[in-house]
Structure 1
Amino acid sequence: MKSLKLWTLAISLGVAMVAFGEVIYQENFDSLRTLDGFEQHGGQWSIAEGKLVGRGNGYLARILLPPVAKGQDIALEADFRMTYSPQPMNWASIFVRYVHGKVPVFIQMPVRYSGWTEIAEAKINEEGKFDWQVYRATQIGDKKKAEDFRRLRLEVRGIVAKTFVDGKPIATTLLAGRTEHDGRVGICSSVTGIEIDNIVVETLPPVSAEEREKLLFEGSTRPLVIAHQGDFAQYPGNTLEAVRAAIVCGADVVEVDVRLSMDNIPYCMHDDTVQGTTDGKGKGCEMTMEQLKTLNAGFRRGEKFKHCKVPTFEEIVVECKKTKTPILIDLKEGRAAKAICEILKAHDYFDSVLVGTGSADTAKVFKSYHPGVTLIATSGYLDNPGQDYMLKLKRDGFDAVFTAFRRPFKVDVKLVRKSGLALYVWTIDNASDVVAAWRHGADGIVTNEPEMALDTLKRIQRAIGEW
């Protein structure tokens, strides 16, 4: 996976394809007049104009399909739209593996009014409160409104869950081993109004022992590993050599800092002055690109790297495009935005970049060139900013937020999710912090040690199947 449309930011190393099975139940509500055989738990459910209509009262409403629609390896597919939602973070879902008991549990695919969807293990506790373990949150990424019909599909086979919208793969994740059980399927609504049509339930072939082993090693979702300035641990940062090394080691994304030279050419360097990383002196913005190219970009790392040069941003794009490796642009100077956009446009690479900026005005420049570009709001320490701040970022066109990682980690990840944003953290250079960031639900980890981060996440993947 190398496309950086936000709905594909969840890493899935296997190809997400629809797994067709045997149809065991289907209903289009054209001739059905009553909900006999359905099991209702809260809310208001009815059939109107050939559709199943539901609305949650207070907090939660569920309806289970007739008992024939059940299984462990199963898929539920339906046309789905929202007719009412008081807030952007409100949701409704389709679910499978529903088990009655003192604490009902199930696997669900919630869709939020804001356009985000999740794969989650849900339960209703003894007090009637709803709780869940979110495995993966992603943005659908289409141009539809919540009121438009979408075709949702949730597949669960063994410890693997996949979601699709209108036939397009959205997310794949490994589930905890405890979720492997038989159960019924149904629809759930919070305080939203929904319409459902053309339901199809299929039983799917079970996951073989060989498939399970492969998935444990290769198929789970995890945070993006973002190589800070390339493979900074091995090479001078922001150089072509560092970028190539990051690609070779398997980093999901390469991050570079971008500035603008005196002759309006975007180049890659962290500091505004050149003496921090090169053998030169002065401000980079007061030098032409030709002058910047004369500098030794490996000067601070010894004789071994004296051949390294200051690269133009376009050189980085050309290098990454060879392997379709995404780029995270840490924009150091807003005035470089238009020149960067022209380069991305010329190389048709907008869909493979993320742009980090702290300026809403700069974000608008990128959106004006490519409305679908992924924008990340940069910040220092994002502790408890509040929902108003998060929703403002969303209104300003941002898709995600960046924050420095420190312990204790005080960011309210659920609040970030409810606001329709993804979460990226920087800079993590040890295994214990990689594990902590994963536990907190980070969507991306910026690191100077991409090989270490990838190895740590692989070890986590091995353990998930035994969880």
Structure 2
Amino acid sequence: MTSSHLSHPAGPDHGRRTARTGPLAAALLAAVLGLTTVVLTAPHVASAAPGTPAAPADQADQVAPAPGAGEVVVDEHFTGPGLPAGWAAVEGSWKVENGRLVGASANWNQQTRITFGRHLTDFRIEATARFESVVDAARWAALGLDVPASGAPPWSIATMRSGTTAANGLEFARRTPADTWDVTDTALAPSAAGTGRDVRIAVEVHGTAARWSFDGREVMRTTRLARSADGGQALLVNGATVSFDDLKVTALAPGAFLRQPGAPVTVLAHRGASSAAPENTLLSDEVARRAGADWIENDVQPSKDGVPYVLHDDTVDRTTNGTGRIRDLTAAQLDALDAGSRFAPATAGARVPSLAAQLDDLRTRGGSLLLEIKGPHTRAEVARIVQDVRDHGMSGRVLVQSFEVDALRFTRELAPELPLGLLRSTLDADPVAVARDLGLAAYNPADAALAARPEVVAALHAAGVAVNVWTVDEPARWKALDAAGVDGIITNRPAELAGWTAARQ
């Protein structure tokens, strides 16, 4: 299968920008080939800085049961005379006034914040926000997505400037332990928030992945949200007075892959950006990431000595300067191969990555992995794949797919936390029954197969199963699949598909 920034550090203005409407893949490849470093703070578990206030004892000692999917964890309309119970004002001014929560920050250097809620891996946070006054159009309000009860850094937030139509009007950002900014993603909103106007803002979070919505329209995604072991939710204000109302936090089912109303299709880069870089290499992954792909799809098979490697074919002949079956070559032999020179002279020296190397690359540089277990695997071989995923802390960012039902059953037995997708060249008579039997999160058919029975999309969606179609490179089919309501499209042309989807929003 197959931005305008001020010179002072007034807010989360600084960091690498990733847009779904990036340059075309060929230009991206040229940029990547000249890459020396990638500035991005890796997500990791971190605690509050030494000397910061601890959470209250009753909060720290109490272990509440995990909420069920769809359960409203916080539902606050600020009708009382004071701050809601359990909300902790950390910095700046917070008060309830005229049925709204009002936060005030005196200047660009004050990160006014109030913490609440509890740690959730999968949730949606939404609120109505209104800028009452601002120091300048670059000031912002934010939904805190992972913030310690103490309010001390590190924390992860989704920001909205009053000047939302600037290139960095909306951002996913992290305040690091060193009290600096790491901005991973920026976008402009479809309209200006300005002052005196209510806007409905929402972020849906699934582990390290998140989707930003502005007035009911999805405007940005990230797969690089830094998470902690215990951070809850918060509201933040910088250089402005902002009022909030109708705030809600809803627990969600883990690994929600269904496309939300009004959202674009998910872009899944087939073997990385395989039309612009040597397939199944870290270079191809980097081009796909910069192109705006939501997920990177790659294949995994074991070496002779049992090490999982990223390769599609049974042999290394087509894509490298070597010969032989991957299962007959040791890890050392695979490491010595050139996987780039056959694609282009400029990419000579690219290597066949081990799964561990690919997971490490995704963890540190960003991205989620649609991982195909290629061909028949024993239970022990699947167990080694699961071990690599867990060892790299990537369980929340990997969806395992395969044509091999046994491989999926082994994965489900060994790692029930990993979502599963079934690849099909032809449709099953009853895809929903198959999905239920295997416990699938996604049913991933060939384009031609789905074209014959597009009605199965609605049936699978009704059963809570996503549909990702492979491998589609033509805009006419993108349009048809988009209209059919599929959740994702696996493509060799992620830059073009990302740009196509963005242009249709």
Range class of TM-score, shorter chain: 0.5 to 0.7
Give 1:457's aligned residue.
Answer: 501
- Partners of 1:391 and 1:419 within 8 A in 2: no
Give 1:410's aligned residue.
Answer: 453
Rate the CA distance shift 1:272–1:164 in 2: closer, same or farther, 3 A: closer
From 349, 353, 367, give the equivalent of 2:398.
353
Q: 2:424 aligns to what SS in structure 1?
A: coil
Rate the CA distance shift 1:171–1:380 in 2: closer, same or farther, 3 A: farther
Give 1:26's aligned residue.
Answer: none
CA distance in 2 between counterparts of 1:323 and 1:302 reads 24
TM-score by length of 1: 0.52
Aligned AA (1:399): A
TM-score by length of 2: 0.48
Give 1:396's aligned residue.
Answer: 438
Q: 1:328 aligns to what SS in structure 2?
A: strand
Give 1:428's aligned residue.
Answer: 472
From 217, 223, 228, give the equivalent of 2:265.
223
CA distance in 1 between counterparts of 2:311 and 2:322 reads 13
- Partners of 1:430 and 1:452 within 8 A in 2: no
Aligned residue pairs total 273
Rate the CA distance shift 1:458–1:273 in 2: closer, same or farther, 3 A: same
2:377 matches 1:342: no
Between 1:232-241 and 1:333-342, the stretch displaced more is: 333-342
Q: 2:264 aligns to what SS in structure 1?
A: coil
CA distance in 2 between counterparts of 1:432 and 1:375 reads 29
Structure 1 residue 367, shift from structure 2 partner:
2.2
From 357, 370, 374, give the equivalent of 1:315.
357
Aligned AA (1:460): R
Q: 1:282 aligns to what SS in structure 2?
A: coil
Rate the CA distance shift 1:421–1:258 in 2: closer, same or farther, 3 A: same
- Partners of 1:173 and 1:221 within 8 A in 2: no
Give 1:123's aligned residue.
Answer: none
- Partners of 1:363 and 1:398 within 8 A in 2: no
Give 1:369's aligned residue.
Answer: 414
Structure 1 residue 360, shift from structure 2 partner:
3.3
CA distance in 1 between counterparts of 2:400 and 2:452 reads 24
- Partners of 2:299 and 2:312 within 8 A in 1: yes
- Partners of 1:357 and 1:377 within 8 A in 2: yes
CA distance in 2 between counterparts of 1:430 and 1:266 reads 32
Structure 1 residue 342, shift from structure 2 partner:
0.8
Aligned AA (1:281): T
Structure 1 residue 398, shift from structure 2 partner:
1.5
- Partners of 2:271 and 2:279 within 8 A in 1: yes
CA distance in 2 between counterparts of 1:173 and 1:413 reads 27
Q: Deviation per CA, 1:196-221: give whole Å up to 9, x if none.
A: xxxxxx9969xxxxxxxxxxxxx952
Give 1:441's aligned residue.
Answer: 485
Q: Deviation per CA, 1:414-465: give whole Å up to 9, x if none.
A: 122233311010111122222221111111111111111111111111xxxx
Percent of residue pairs bearing the same amino acid type? 25
CA distance in 2 between counterparts of 1:164 and 1:451 reads 24
Q: Which runs of 5+ in 2 are unaligned?
A: 1-17, 19-41, 44-72, 80-197, 218-243, 248-260
Rate the CA distance shift 1:20–1:458 in 2: closer, same or farther, 3 A: farther
CA distance in 2 between counterparts of 1:409 and 1:304 reads 41
Give 1:272's aligned residue.
Answer: 314
Give me the CA root mean square deviation.
3.6
Aligned AA (1:317): L
Q: Which runs of 5+ in 1 are unaligned?
A: 4-16, 24-156, 177-201, 206-218, 462-467
2:424 matches 1:379: yes
